[in-house]
Structure 1
């Protein structure tokens, strides 16, 4: 599927400016005068506490009149939803955010025939027009009348959302002031990508689209040049780190993680995926990831190579990393040959777990996993080890994790037992395979091994983040130092418990 996004970008290149911005044609609503306005490309992470309020107070104007986008904007159908590679959102320009929301939702609604038989298989919070779009040409255009932009700019409300460290998140509300509330939600989440170069956004978006169809991830509404639109989940809140160990949170989290891992969607053939670009073709392809193999080691070695360059060229990241290639080789050698793989989240910190304090009786699930940007085929035990390490805290607020807060042996056992119970229930479904875990203790033995890899994973990630994003919004360097320090602590504990010494 990555090639479909790439082809869409290549087809739109004549409209792109090579400095990373895109020229957007705008028209004065009271005259035929046209001007050229530049919308910025990928934005960097900013503090997550500022409320934008009504965007109408920050409108750009031409001779005192709000700007409006010209009628026809080209877009592509990828993963069954619109992709507009020539439009970018910028936190400093509220109108740019309002534009991508309006254009993507209008493009989605342009494909309104939804009579295909699999519509009930899609996420319930997607509008009907998103459920099962009929065959559509790979490229199309979307039009919004000039007078309608005045309504959009004055009505859509924007508020920056506290949460993750990698992306900028903005909630856009009051969409019913322009769109039909029976076909479109009143709120959406705009995700403006950060971590440029560290995440394959094409693969990530393809994964999200597939998980959203199955109700595992929030609904996905379409993508623009440097981000995408997702569902806003009313009534749910992100957990605080201290809540992760509470039984009423820990147990449903374990069940939801088992449900995620049970998808086994990495095993579905993707031989035709990169040749598909229409909604119908994409809906017939159930694949989630582009590989059947765990991505952990490829990612770790790639990040290690990037980190070596970063430490050599950036004064703000002064760490000695030359010995960590041998550490990676050693940890990889510990991988149990029979340890299960599945589609994994790989970033199950508290901020990526939504909780519903007052669930709807018709939808008793209280947990919603979000932010699958690091998701992919991986070792199940790594995903659980990562979640356990997140009990200590970390981004976006704690550069010095408190490892005294790691889950107790009793909490770890409860999580593992609950996970296996849920997995066994899921195994009763048609076509399920037998679980590879013989006991909760065996699962936790594998988790202990992958805790080593997890510290290296986020330690190297933080080195690269410090080099690319800087340390103003979050002290990535201190976080990197602490994760790599904890790696050596855990390594010694592992050596002491297994009588293995002198491997590195």
Structure 2
């Protein structure tokens, strides 16, 4: 927890240096045990909120209500509603980091980026931090389902937001982190030991020599495309997209995996997520659907004015990096299988992603090679 606290201190120091003392983000050393049943956890959450926000400290606990919003396969989200003295109800979101997520998530990178993303209008506003999570403003919107993402109108909205997101400038190194992160995942994954004999036996069927070879070869191959580097979300699954249908406003949320990376990775990863956690790749977007998305990504106000050459370039780039997306989440899943207490078949997920990678690889290599050959003529 010490590293995370230091980053909160860095954020505070930045505000002091800029004279922006009013925007200091409160920090509490509280840690909330995510394994507790919700009724047992609620008093701790209320205590946390009172510790963070001084105008709530004298309020009676009965004025607080806490409910679970969602708990994906990484974090637990809670909605805290408070009736203030003026009878006005205020809601915030408390995000509790999943246990052991520091093995796969760079919290320092996330916290340093989130302030700038919030200022640029992305996600929920960061209100406070604590030992194993953060408090953000509550977004009044519904979380999308994988099937929503393929609806043309929603796909266009997502494309527009992703295009704006990719234009945000985050201070610091602009070096792409994709392969750095994948190789870090690989190093951790390849040395694991499982307590459960069945899991250990299945783990031993993974050829890490083969996996490493695939990572290095794909890194070299995608490098031929000279893909643009942007600040990427890197986890554009349906659960990180919210839509307020009355206002027709779409939100990108949860920037845990955000980093400078390749444009094609963010888009290709998003297309892979059409399949959901079940990995039903029969619903991977068609070429026509991908073109629709890419046009709105490149020119949201005038999508029909985008040239076919521009569309084709992003299409090929995306198809190449969708393979990197499979390797990224496949290696991630091995670590989660050992470290996460969440009831999810992570090792099974590894094989679903890795097998899809091997299935798509020859088709993608052929497409990219053909495109590069025609482009050089």
Indicate the TM-score class for this superposition, using the shorter chain for normalisation: 0.7 to 0.9
Q: Deviation string for 1:317-346 (max 9, x for gaps)? A: 513322111111100011235311111100
Alignment of 1:326 with 2:232, yes or no, is: no
| Aligned residue number for residue 393 of structure 1 | 276
Give the whole-Å Cα distance in 2 for the aligned partners of 1:338 and 1:8.
35
Alignment of 1:420 with 2:322, yes or no, is: no
**Contact preservation (8 Å) 2:268, 2:318:** yes
Give the whole-Å Cα distance in 2 for the aligned partners of 1:336 and 1:242.
33
**Contact preservation (8 Å) 1:416, 1:443:** yes
Alignment of 1:354 with 2:354, yes or no, is: no
Change in CA separation of 1:7 and 1:343 when aligned onto 2, cut-off 3 Å: closer
Aligned mate of 2:72, from 164, 169, 172: 164
Alignment of 1:95 with 2:43, yes or no, is: yes
- For the residue of structure 2 that corresponds to 1:326, the secondary structure is helix
Alignment of 1:376 with 2:324, yes or no, is: no
Q: Deviation string for 1:130-158 (max 9, x for gaps)? A: xxxxxxxxxxxxx94xxx26x0x222100
Q: Deviation string for 1:96-155 (max 9, x for gaps)? A: 11122222222xx6xxxxxxxxxxxxxxxxxxxxxxxxxxxxxxxxx94xxx26x0x222
Give the whole-Å Cα distance in 1 for the aligned partners of 2:301 and 2:259.
19
Give the whole-Å Cα distance in 2 for the aligned partners of 1:340 and 1:417.
17
Unaligned regions of 5+ residues in structure 2, if any?
A: 16-22, 371-377
Alignment of 1:230-241 (within 5 A): 230-234=136-140, 236-241=141-146
What is the TM-score when the length of structure 1 is the normalising length? 0.64
Change in CA separation of 1:78 and 1:179 when aligned onto 2, cut-off 3 Å: farther
Higher helix share: 2
Superposed displacement of residue 499, structure 1: 6.7
Superposed displacement of residue 488, structure 1: 0.4
Superposed displacement of residue 83, structure 1: 4.2
Superposed displacement of residue 84, structure 1: 2.8
Give the whole-Å Cα distance in 2 for the aligned partners of 1:485 and 1:171.
38
**Contact preservation (8 Å) 2:320, 2:368:** no
| Aligned residue number for residue 243 of structure 1 | 148
- For the residue of structure 2 that corresponds to 1:217, the secondary structure is coil
Alignment of 1:443 with 2:348, yes or no, is: no
- For the residue of structure 2 that corresponds to 1:322, the secondary structure is helix
**Contact preservation (8 Å) 2:109, 2:259:** no
Aligned mate of 2:345, from 475, 489, 492: 475
Change in CA separation of 1:473 and 1:446 when aligned onto 2, cut-off 3 Å: same
**Contact preservation (8 Å) 1:343, 1:376:** yes
Alignment of 1:298-309 (within 5 A): 298-309=180-191
Alignment of 1:186 with 2:90, yes or no, is: yes
Alignment of 1:165-314 (within 5 A): 165-173=73-81, 175-178=82-85, 181=88, 186-194=90-98, 195-234=101-140, 236-263=141-168, 265-266=169-170, 287=171, 290-310=172-192
Alignment of 1:86 with 2:29, yes or no, is: yes
Aligned-residue CA RMSD (Å): 2.9
Give the whole-Å Cα distance in 2 for the aligned partners of 1:77 and 1:178.
33
What is the aligned length? 346
Give the whole-Å Cα distance in 2 for the aligned partners of 1:476 and 1:81.
38
Change in CA separation of 1:324 and 1:104 when aligned onto 2, cut-off 3 Å: same
- For the residue of structure 1 that corresponds to 2:150, the secondary structure is coil
| Aligned residue number for residue 410 of structure 1 | 288
**Contact preservation (8 Å) 1:237, 1:356:** yes
- Larger displacement relative to structure 2 (159-168 or 316-325): 316-325
Change in CA separation of 1:492 and 1:338 when aligned onto 2, cut-off 3 Å: closer
Give the whole-Å Cα distance in 2 for the aligned partners of 1:305 and 1:165.
22
Change in CA separation of 1:85 and 1:379 when aligned onto 2, cut-off 3 Å: same
Unaligned regions of 5+ residues in structure 1, if any?
A: 11-75, 110-142, 267-286, 360-364, 426-434
Give the whole-Å Cα distance in 2 for the aligned partners of 1:423 and 1:320.
47
- For the residue of structure 1 that corresponds to 2:53, the secondary structure is helix
What is the TM-score when the length of structure 2 is the normalising length? 0.84
